[in-house]
Amino acid sequence: MKNTRRDFIKTSAIATGGVLAANSFIVPGAYAAPETHLKLALIGCGGRGTGAVFQAMETGHPIKLVAMADAFRDRLDGSLKPILDKYGAEKVDVPEDRKFVGFDAYKHAIAEADVVILATPPGFRPDHFTEAVKQGKQIFMEKPVATDAVGIRKVLKAAEEAKAKKLNVVVGLQRHYQDNYRKTIAKIHAGEIGDIVGGQVYWNDGGVWVRPRKPEQTEMEYQMRNWYYFNWLCGDHITEQHVHNIDVANWVKKGYPVKAEGTGGRMVRTGKEFGEIFDHHTVQFTYEDGTVIHSECRHFPGAANRVDETFQGTKGTAYLSAGNHGVLTDYTGKKLYEHDRENNINPYQQEHNELWAAIVNGEYKFADAENGARSTMTSILGRYATYSGKVITMEEAINSDINLFPDTLAWDATPKLVPNADGFYPHAIPGKTKTV
Ligand SMILES: NC(=O)c1ccc[n+]([C@@H]2O[C@H](COP(=O)([O-])OP(=O)(O)OC[C@H]3O[C@@H](n4cnc5c(N)ncnc54)[C@H](O)[C@@H]3O)[C@@H](O)[C@H]2O)c1
């Protein structure tokens, strides 16, 4: 039987007592040249993908960036330059014929690598993840992992295949790799504040970038560049950002809600440059045991910001945030636990430290895709509730056949959502819009 790279990594790791040193990557086979690095490909060369390559390199493992893929050449070039400047030709070897551009670029870049980083807008993740699993690669993929239920079902299917193939998959829900969350939630699960009976999770801030339309752009290129504001690409900010906090609620509750109801709309951010997404959503998620978690996200410039999670138990309360907070109190106000916030490792780094250590040691340790899909689905359930104005069950939501993805991917193809004659896009109207 042909040796796969994984078999090789495993065998080498065993041969070296679990620690794989540089120079030990000798691929089995009569004429194979010695390899000294694990080969990395970046799919989606924007802010986060570029950052993730830096974090991979900073693990200190023998890694070489060998291929890059982006829809746009200028984005690829803009990402490669700082990586090359920092790490040099020894760790960055991306010649012209391994720079892939366009909608099919991902397939070619994935084929060049042992490990892939998937960091495009989330609408593409189901297809890119499916392909990476099909090609048997180790995977870091950013959240969210899809933008509609059709995409989620694809990711769940590929997640099963990844497990069967024992491919490590880490999803960039980095709170799972952040010490304050790990330690505080372990205490919650150990019963320190009793059973969790309620909670509130927030992502309230002023919003994100806008990429203005240029006259030469086709509608497809404009939506791809200004992707945040189109649901087939982004999923709305309840999915793109607030998934982090919703995922914490699921983690604390050790499950996923059974139904959601909520309210949302476009109140302060109504211009045509904001596409179709809402600027606020408030949702009540009900879990199987009757617990209700209140979720709130909004993009109101100038209003109060809040990004954190609180929970009420039968014996006390919990407060968590990405600023390394983790506090448990009883109902007299007495502190039961306070996480030490000093010297905590950046979770974006930690997720790579753990993933790459597993890969280098030939271990199969990470199967994040299913939770990534179910937490992303929870945020989509919230959007289905606010867009429709109806109570939506998870069962209905996950089986929704409303597919946001374009029928054809090409620069001159027409996305499903197009603007009216004045340049404004139709958006959901609660009470009228159908989501399941
Ligand atoms: N975990 C976190 O805290 C965190 C933080 C920021 C972003 N993210 C996630 O990372 C992803 C990327 O976000 P970003 O801020 O880097 O956005 P970005 O716009 O800076 O980068 C996205 C890149 O993907 C490229 N792209 C688009 N479609 C593509 C396709 N079909 N094939 C190849 N490339 C394609 C774009 O041209 C762009 O260069 C999103 O899913 C976002 O939610 C996660």
Domain boundaries, the chain: 5-174+355-367, 176-342+374-398
Atom of ligand 1 nearest to the CA of 76: 39
Q: Which of 9-13, 283-287, 301-305, 361-365 has the lowest mean pLDDT?
A: 9-13
Locus of tokens 């998959």? 169
Q: Is 107 in the pocket of ligand 1 (CB under 6 A)?
A: no
Q: How confident is the model at residue 36 (pLDDT cuts 50, 70, 90)?
A: confident
In the reported structure, the alpha carbon of residue 212 is separated from the centroid of ligand 1 by a whole-number distance in angstroms of 17
pTM value is 0.94
> Mean of the pLDDT values across residues 164-173?
98
Q: Is 372 in the pocket of ligand 1 (CB under 6 A)?
A: no
Q: Which residues have C-beta within 8 Å of that of residue 432, sequence separation ≥ 6?
A: none
DSSP letters, 371-425, are HHHHHHHHHHHHHHHHHHTS-EEHHHHHT-----S-SS-STTSPPS----TTSPP
Q: Is 316 in the pocket of ligand 1 (CB under 6 A)?
A: no
Q: Is 276 in the pocket of ligand 1 (CB under 6 A)?
A: no
Q: Ligand 1: which residue has its CA nearest to atom 25?
A: 44
Q: Is 119 in the pocket of ligand 1 (CB under 6 A)?
A: yes
126: exposed, middle or buried (C-beta count within 10 Å: 0-12, 13-18, 19+)? buried
Express as a percent the part of the chain with pLDDT over 90: 92
Strand 38-43 to strand 63-70: parallel, antiparallel, or no bridges (unpaired)?
parallel
pLDDT (tens digit, 9 = 90+) per residue, 404-435? Answer: 999 999 999 999 999 999 999 999 999 999 99
Q: Is the pLDDT of residue 8 over 50?
A: no
pLDDT (tens digit, 9 = 90+) per residue, 46-70? Answer: 999 999 999 999 999 999 999 999 9
Q: Ligand 1: which residue has its CA nearest to atom 2?
A: 172
- Structure token digits, residue 396: 């209905």
CATH of 5-174+355-367, one of 2.40.30.10, 3.40.50.720, 3.30.420.40, 3.40.50.140: 3.40.50.720
Q: Is 264 in the pocket of ligand 1 (CB under 6 A)?
A: no
Q: Average per-residue pLDDT in the chain?
A: 93
In the reported structure, the alpha carbon of residue 354 is separated from the centroid of ligand 1 by a whole-number distance in angstroms of 22
In the reported structure, the alpha carbon of residue 422 is separated from the centroid of ligand 1 by a whole-number distance in angstroms of 29
Coil, strand, or helix at residue 15? helix
How far apart are the C-alpha atoms of 169 and 150, rounded to whole Å?
A: 21
Q: Which of 79, 142, 155 to mutate to test the pocket of ligand 1 (most atoms within 8 A of CB)?
A: 142
pLDDT (tens digit, 9 = 90+) per residue, 340-393? Answer: 999 999 999 999 999 999 999 999 999 999 999 999 999 999 999 999 999 999
DSSP letters, 70-131, are ESSHHHHHHHHHHHHHHHHHHHB---GGGEEESTTHHHHHHHT-SEEEE-S-GGGHHHHHHH
Q: Is 106 in the pocket of ligand 1 (CB under 6 A)?
A: yes
Q: What is the pLDDT of residue 16?
A: 33
In the reported structure, the alpha carbon of residue 49 is separated from the centroid of ligand 1 by a whole-number distance in angstroms of 7
pLDDT (tens digit, 9 = 90+) per residue, 71-90? Answer: 999 999 999 999 999 999 99
Q: Is 129 in the pocket of ligand 1 (CB under 6 A)?
A: no
In the reported structure, the alpha carbon of residue 121 is separated from the centroid of ligand 1 by a whole-number distance in angstroms of 4
Q: Is 79 in the pocket of ligand 1 (CB under 6 A)?
A: no
In the reported structure, the alpha carbon of residue 237 is separated from the centroid of ligand 1 by a whole-number distance in angstroms of 14
176-342+374-398, CATH topology level: Dihydrodipicolinate Reductase; domain 2 (3.30.360)
> Mean of the pLDDT values across residues 138-163?
98
How far apart are the C-alpha atoms of 382 and 393, rounded to whole Å?
A: 10
CA angle 404, 410, 411 (to 5 degrees): 105
> Mean of the pLDDT values across residues 309-322?
98
pLDDT (tens digit, 9 = 90+) per residue, 208-260? Answer: 999 999 999 999 999 999 999 999 999 999 999 999 999 999 999 999 999 99
Q: Is 172 in the pocket of ligand 1 (CB under 6 A)?
A: yes
Q: Is the pLDDT of residue 9 over 80?
A: no
